[in-house]
A and B are shown apart, each in its own frame.
Chain A
Amino acid sequence: MSAARPDHDGPLLEIDGLATRFFTREGTVRAVDGVSLSVPRGATVCVVGESGCGKSVTARSVLGLVDEPGRIVGGRILWRPGDGDPVDLAALDPNSERMRRIRGGEISMVFQEPMASLSPMHTVGSQLVEAIRLHLPLGRAEAHDRAVDLLRRVGIPRPEERMDAYSFQLSGGMCQRVMIAIALACDPALLIADEPTTALDVTTQARIIDLLRDLQAQSGMSMLFITHDLGVVAEIADEVVVMYLGTVVERGGVDEIFHDPKHPYTRALLGSVPRMGAGSRQRLTTIRGTVPHPSDRPAGCPFHPRCDAAVAGVCDRSDPPDVPVGPGRTARCVLYDEAAVPASGVV
């Protein structure tokens, strides 16, 4: 939970009613449709959901990295790195000087495909030095020393030699470590990690997760961790945001989400994960149907066609309200909406 120091009001990052749409020739895709979440200082928030739920677009919206024909059309992204007034990242021009200072400096990002994110034309060292010198007033030699130091911090053996290596000479795990080193180059206050371990083997994945946790403990940075893997969420999250088709369906602490899930989608998702140690030939709970394409969203609650608890005439008509179901917890479902509470939609 956020241990907000007196000189800082509110969470480090607060996303409020974010809407990002893609204006394609086939029609408008509401990729992110009223997402609200916050990242407290020093905490790890995991955004979990299946493909097409908008988790990556949410992360990219924060950094102004939404590709054409996508655009942020509503909501605020309040960034509070220190004292003073928060900056609304959603209102900043993605190419502005301020945004470029934040991107890679105050907020940095690690992507899914480490091999594809590094340039094969430049050495690992030159890419690292470039990131450092873009944001910090350091000379070549100082930047080089800092780069070697960063490589050592992310657990790369013989960092001086690896400075001259190209990405294709390194394994996937090593490349991801280099990506993390680049992301940490300027001591960001927030690290956004978009499926950083998905392309890696389990053994490597475990080491990368350990590394991220250690680095966070050392530096006190916050993390916004995007993943579809509930096992990874259980390993790393303090708070969890469950997304489905562009909306946040449930938010809460990691223990509450795993041991007392409220939203039918969260429950179904947890039921469809095989449990280790439960023996062979388990029959898994499934969610019927498939995730609809975001351009083809059902009316009302986006989950209602697949939901066993759906109430006909209610769930398929109106958007469900975001109901508080405990301290710091919400579930976007009519099941928790007492009739007395006026349905207000996304607050």
Chain B
Amino acid sequence: MTAPILVVRNLHVRFPVKRGFFGRTVGHVRAVDGVDLTIRPGETLGLVGESGCGKTTLGRSIARIITPTSGEILYRDAAGADVDLATAPNYELRELQRQVRVVFQDPFSSLNPRMTLLQIVGEPLRNHGVATGSELEDRVAGMLQRVGLSPKYLHRYPHAFSGGERQRVNIARALILEPRLVIADEPVSALDVSVRAQILNLLRDLQDEFGLTYLFISHDLSVVESVCDRVAVMYLGRLVEVADTGDLYTRPRHPYTEALLSAVPRPDPRLRDSGRRIRLADDLPDPADPPPGCTFHTRCRYAVAGTCDVPGGAPVLAQTAHGHRAACLRTNELDLAGIEPDPV
């Protein structure tokens, strides 16, 4: 097996909670709470979880938009040298940020309405001193063409484009510096069904063409299944399960994964009321004050008092099968249901 492109070790990101007139810090939200994660070159790793679980924060720390509180983010650069992104000084980061790029979620707010496509997509080239003038224009035009936009749009503003087209601009901006690792944060969530399929296919074509590695952050499990090689499930700042996509969907080993899978509405009325229906309570615990023991025990239907809720007894991500890891104290006793393939 080839060496991983990114290794995240024991990563923590905490945000202070400030209250009152003097803005005193009264506690910390543990947005990312001890995450270990490996990304292999050329793969698409999915990161799923409910809103507020810390998946976006984790993605942004890897791109160093957020500085993590502690932990390591070891990135293996093109030359094969390991760099710790968590502690890299700014001058080193600038170079590394050419290699690790982000596609943001909302195509409407992530593009500056007062800049033309040439300025938006060309800005990274200029900032990193890669190209200027007519060379910059040529490269931007080429990139636009590659993502399926006509180069004659170069001098137009984002408001003239639909959501799908804007997301193509977003992708062009991320890829113009020829990165190696792309963090795609909910890249298709704001898009219509027919356009979503176009963007997903585009992301895959670009991956094959440029040899990209993706961290694909999404809350949509059907989309994740269709694009990802491996999937990591996150709950309250921690990873609870990591496995190959097929494995995770057919044989989940964590009750939270099972519940997520059973909640996805399937586009087939004949599957209505079939299979195991697991309904989680609506309320996510407060990430500033997580429950003791396994943080999922308050919503878990398999939780056993005295085992799962012991303070300090939080389960760690442990190997359950080859390439499959889960953080559940009872994983070996449970028979969890996965997804049955659609009868087509």
Contact = CB atoms under 8 A, between A and B. Distances in A.
Asked whether A and B interact, the reply is yes
Interface of A: 50-51, 171, 173-174, 177, 201-207, 209-210, 228-235, 237, 254-255, 258-259, 268-270, 272-287, 290-291
B269 A273 contact: no
B194 A203 contact: no
15 contacts: A201-B219, A202-B263, A202-B264, A205-B263, A231-B264, A254-B269, A258-B269, A272-B194, A273-B222, A273-B267, A276-B221, A277-B249, A277-B339, A284-B200, A290-B162
B165 A290 contact: yes
Contact of B265 (A232, A269, A272, A278): A232
A174 B269 contact: no
Contacts of B270: 255, 258-259
A201 B104 CA distance: 19
Contacts of A275: 222, 226, 267, 341-342, 344
A281 B265 contact: no
B164 interface: yes
Contacts of B266: 231, 234-235, 276
Size category of the binding interface on chain B = 35 or more
B219 to A, nearest CB: 6
A203 B260 contact: yes
B150 interface: no
A177 B194 CA distance: 30
A177 B282 CA distance: 10
A234 B200 CA distance: 23
B342 A284 contact: no
B246 interface: yes
A46 to B, nearest CB: 10
B17 interface: no
B192 interface: yes
A237 B269 contact: yes
Interface of B: 50-51, 162-165, 192-198, 200-201, 204, 219-223, 225-229, 245-246, 249-250, 259-260, 262-272, 277, 279-280, 282-284, 339-342, 344
A275 to B, nearest CB: 5
Nearest to A265: B194
Nearest to B279: A207
Task: List the 6 closest pairs (A to B, CB-CB), nearest first.
Answer: A231-B265, A277-B341, A173-B282, A274-B226, A272-B197, A284-B197
B197 A203 contact: no
A258 B265 CA distance: 14
A234 B264 contact: no
Nearest to B271: A234
Contact of A284 (B226, B267, B284): B226
Nearest to B49: A201
Given A230-B193, A290-B165, A202 B246 contact: no
B193 A210 contact: no
A116 B182 CA distance: 33
B284 A279 contact: no
Given A202-B219, A275-B344, A234 B201 contact: no
Nearest to A209: B265
B265 A234 contact: yes
Contacts of B223: 274
Nearest to B283: A171
B341 to A, nearest CB: 3
Given A201-B50, A276-B264, A291-B162, 13 more contacts: A202-B264, A206-B263, A206-B265, A231-B222, A234-B266, A258-B270, A272-B197, A274-B200, A276-B341, A276-B342, A278-B225, A280-B226, A284-B200
Contact of A277 (B227, B269, B342): B342
A276 B249 contact: yes
B241 to A, nearest CB: 15
B267 A234 contact: yes
Contacts of B260: 202-203
A49 B193 CA distance: 9
Contacts of B229: 280-281
A234 B198 contact: no
B226 A278 contact: yes
Given A279-B246, A281-B226, A258 B282 contact: no
A207 B194 contact: no
Nearest to B340: A277
Contacts of A277: 225, 249-250, 339-342
A228 B193 contact: yes
A205 B262 CA distance: 12
Contacts of A258: 267-270
Contacts of B228: 280
Contacts of A210: 279
A273 B196 CA distance: 9
A171 B98 CA distance: 38
Nearest to B343: A277
A336 to B, nearest CB: 22
B298 to A, nearest CB: 13
A230 B271 CA distance: 13
Contacts of A50: 192-195
A278 B162 contact: no
Contacts of B272: 234-235
Contacts of B341: 275-278
Most buried by A among B165, B221, B283: B283
Contacts of B246: 279-280
Given A51-B192, A258-B267, A286-B194, A279 B225 contact: yes
A231 B267 contact: yes
Contact of A204 (B164, B196, B282, B344): B282
A270 B267 contact: yes
A280 B269 contact: no
A131 to B, nearest CB: 22
A51 B340 CA distance: 31
Contacts of A284: 197, 200-201, 226
Contacts of A283: 201, 204
B148 to A, nearest CB: 10
A235 B265 contact: yes
A278 to B, nearest CB: 6
Contact of A269 (B194, B220, B221, B339): B194
A202 B250 CA distance: 18
